[in-house]
């Protein structure tokens, strides 16, 4: 993992992206060779490199938007992989067609482009199959040793299903007199110095996770391992890097004070410009959809219900504002009091169910972004009733209101819809990661992942 603008990015998937960039760039020239296989005297045009690079850039961006560079991608079956790659190439073909229409000099011919698309689709499928075999190789997995076998160390096992596949938890070493929470077969007895143990087990990384650091932590031995090139991290940094969260049940205030990040205020002007540009761009594309939605809602209610729904939400610094959405529930939906949305919610109308599933009901919030009440990317805006309750029961919940709420966000693209207090706590961990590691680069990644969320209907209620 490396950090790009404070966000952790997998070097393995960066390498995959680079390989696919090369394949897509070469596809235009290979397509030309296939098109003129039996022709003599032809040669590539000098400006084909521009088309090749545009095709490669478009393909990689769309692959990212469809989740093909997420660390869970290698677990997909063949049908899922083919579907997502095919969708990516369909969108890429449409995008390149628009580019050719706007800039005719870049057009390389239908035959060449057709062969290029076919070759690149087959080539990327082959690259993906090799990649899946590569990342699942036990010899290439990062071997991790955990110092600790108590409550904190057990939380690594609790999250083991969410950890990336290139991690191999070799074992846990009990520290001092901590109460053991790890099964015996996972325990490793430290009957030799830590450096010798790490060399014997071929350890790449040590995670320091004892319940009590004051008793029996071998600082000198850990330092010795560090000097030998073995990576050493604390538990909070491990979760932040591997899961993209700030783990609240391991959190202590000093870590927040002394850790890197929480520098959003230095980029407020750039973020505001980004919000305005993104909102205007999305409005230009989606206004026909919004018009059709308004008409469908008016027809469904026969003009009896308002098309738009306004509700008080909590913004940055606990300022209240009126969020605007398309109405997706009956007017009497909260007659008995405020309730969280739930699966198969009977309060949702027929049109409302569709627009919630496709996130169309969120589009009027672009007006809130343009007004400055919200940002395009940020934590989900919550209602004052829920905020007051969660602030009393969930530690650090108030910190998510240091920034403007957003239409989409890190928690929205990484976790399911919150329908309980436990879900809210889980999403808060993603929100804290966003607040801590904000950058325009992270905003851009979230926008790309939002495309996948919308297309696959993830987390909608």
The per-residue pLDDT of the chain, averaged, comes to 86
The answer to the question of residue 259 being in a domain is no
Phi, psi of 209 (to 5 degrees): -145, 50
Cα-flanking dihedrals φ and ψ of residue 125, to 5°? Answer: -65, -45
Q: 83 with 97, same domain?
A: yes
Residue 252 forms part of a structural domain: no
Residues 284 and 411 grouped into a single domain: yes
Q: Same structural domain for residues 268 and 345?
A: yes
Q: What is the pLDDT of residue 338?
A: 60
Instruction: Summarize pLDDT for 122-179 with one digit per residue, the tens.
Output: 999 999 888 877 766 666 688 999 999 989 999 998 888 888 777 889 999 998 878 8
Residues 280 and 424 in one domain: yes
Determine, yes or no, domain membership for 254.
no
Chain centre distance of CA 381 = 19
Q: Which residue has the tokens 């769309």?
A: 62
Q: Could you tell me which residues come within 8 angstroms of residue 345 by beta carbon, excluding any fewer than 6 positions away?
A: 329, 461
pLDDT of residue 431: 94
More confident residue, 213 or 90: 90
Q: Which domain holds residue 196?
A: 141-243
**pLDDT value at residue 38:** 55
> CA dist 336 to 122, 171, 188, 379, Å?
56, 52, 56, 27
CA distance 343 to 142: 39
Instruction: Record the tokens describing residue 372, joined without a space.
Output: 């400055």
282 and 419 within one domain: yes
**Structural domain includes residue 447:** yes
CATH code (residue 185): 3.40.50.720
Residue pair 303/322 in contact by the 8 Å Cβ criterion: no
Which of 201, 172, 175 has the alpha carbon at shortest distance from 187?
Answer: 172
The total of other beta-carbon atoms located within 10 Å of residue 256's CB is: 16
405 and 287, same structural domain?
yes
Residue ending a domain, among 97, 115, 135, is 135
Closest CA to 263 of 2, 1, 7, 450: 7
Confidence at 299, pLDDT banded by 50, 70, 90: very high
**Alpha-carbon gap, residue 404 to 120, rounded angstroms:** 41
Task: Let me know whether 106 and 176 are in one domain.
Answer: no
Q: Tell me which DSSP letter residue 260 carries.
A: S
Task: Please report the pLDDT score of residue 359 as a whole number.
Answer: 86
Reduced to 3 states (helix: H, G, I; strand: E, B; else coil), residue 101 is: helix
Establish if 6 belongs to a structural domain.
yes
Looking at 114-118, 217-221, 333-337, 399-403, which range is the least confident one?
333-337
Cα first-last separation, the chain: 34
Q: How confident is the model at residue 108 (pLDDT cuts 50, 70, 90)?
A: confident
Does residue 251 fall inside a structural domain?
no
Together in a domain, 300 and 433 = yes
The encoded tokens of residue 212 equal 């009590």
DSSP letter, residue 207: E
Answer yes or no: do 127 and 51 share one domain: yes
Cα dihedral 194, 198, 204, 205 sign: negative
Q: Are residues 271 and 190 in the same domain?
A: no
Asked if residue 230 and residue 273 are part of one domain, the reply reads no
**Whole-angstrom Cα distance, residue 461 to residue 290?**
19
Domain final residue, candidates 114, 135, 156 = 135
More confident residue, 337 or 260: 260
The residue-averaged pLDDT of 369-376 equals 93
Q: Is the pLDDT of residue 333 over 70?
A: no
Query: What number of other Cβ atoms are within 10 A of residue 416's Cβ?
Result: 14
Give strand ranges (E) for 135-203: 142-147, 167-173
The domain total for the chain is: 3
What was the pLDDT predicted at 212? 80
The answer to whether 445 and 61 have CB atoms below 8 angstroms apart is no
In a domain, 257, yes or no: no
**Which pLDDT band holds residue 199 (cuts at 50, 70, 90)?**
very high
53-74 pLDDT, tens digit per residue, is 999 999 999 999 988 888 777 6
Whether residue 461 lies inside any domain: the answer is: no
Strand blocks (E) in 45-90: none
Residues 9 and 78 in one domain: yes
- Given 112, 135, 158, the domain boundary residue is 135
**Residue partners of 57: CB distance under 8 A and separation at least 6:** 21
pLDDT attached to residue 345: 67
Check: CB of residue 24 under 8 Å from CB of residue 116: no
Residue 206 has pLDDT above 90, yes or no: yes
Q: Yes or no: say if 358 and 292 are a contact pair by the CB < 8 Å rule.
A: no
């Amino acid at each position: 993992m490396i950090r790009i603008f404070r966000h952790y990015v997998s070097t393995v998937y960066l390498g995959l992206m680079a390989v696919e960039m090369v394949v897509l760039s070469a596809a235009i020239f290979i397509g030309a060779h296939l098109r003129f296989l039996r022709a003599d005297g032809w040669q590539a045009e000098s400006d084909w490199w521009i088309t090749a690079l545009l095709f490669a850039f478009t393909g990689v961006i769309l692959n990212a938007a469809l989740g093909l560079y997420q660390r869970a991608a290698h677990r997909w079956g063949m049908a899922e992989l083919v579907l997502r790659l095919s969708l990516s190439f369909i969108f890429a073909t449409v995008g390149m067609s628009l580019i050719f229409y706007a800039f005719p000099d870049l057009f390389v011919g239908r035959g060449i482009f057709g062969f290029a698309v076919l070759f690149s689709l087959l080539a990327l499928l082959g690259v993906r199959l090799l990649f899946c075999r590569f990342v699942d190789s036990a010899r290439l997995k990062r071997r991790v040793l955990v110092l600790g076998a108590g409550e904190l160390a057990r939380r690594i096992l609790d999250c083991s299903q969410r950890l990336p596949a290139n991690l191999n938890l070799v074992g846990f070493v009990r520290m001092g007199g901590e109460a053991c929470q790890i099964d015996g077969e996972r325990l490793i007895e430290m009957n030799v110095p830590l450096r010798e143990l790490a060399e014997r087990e071929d350890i790449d990384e040590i995670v320091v996770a004892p319940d009590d650091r004051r008793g029996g932590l071998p600082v000198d031995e850990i330092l010795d391992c560090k000097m030998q090139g073995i990576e050493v991290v604390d538990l909070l940094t491990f979760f932040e890097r591997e899961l993209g969260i700030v783990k609240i049940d391991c959190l202590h205030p000093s870590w927040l004070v002394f850790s890197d990040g929480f520098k959003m205020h230095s980029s407020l002007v750039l973020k505001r410009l980004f919000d305005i540009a993104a909102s205007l761009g999305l409005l230009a594309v989606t206004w026909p959809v919004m018009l059709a939605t308004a008409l469908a809602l008016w027809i469904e209610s026969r003009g009896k219900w308002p098309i738009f729904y306004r509700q008080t939400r909590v913004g940055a610094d606990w300022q209240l504002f009126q969020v605007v959405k398309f109405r997706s529930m009956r007017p009497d939906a909260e007659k008995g009091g405020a309730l969280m949305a739930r699966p198969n919610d009977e309060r949702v109308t027929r049109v409302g169910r569709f627009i919630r599933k496709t996130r169309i009901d969120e589009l009027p919030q672009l007006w809130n972004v343009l007004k400055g009440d919200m940002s395009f990317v940020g934590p989900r805006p919550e209602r004052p009733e829920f905020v007051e309750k969660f602030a009393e029961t969930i530690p650090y919940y108030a910190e998510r209101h240091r920034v403007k709420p957003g239409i989409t966000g890190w928690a929205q693209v990484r976790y399911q819809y919150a329908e309980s207090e436990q879900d809210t706590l889980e999403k808060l961990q993603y929100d804290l990661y966003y607040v801590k590691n904000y950058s325009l680069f992270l905003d851009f990644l979230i926008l790309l992942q939002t495309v996948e969320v919308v297309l696959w209907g993830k987390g909608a209620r």
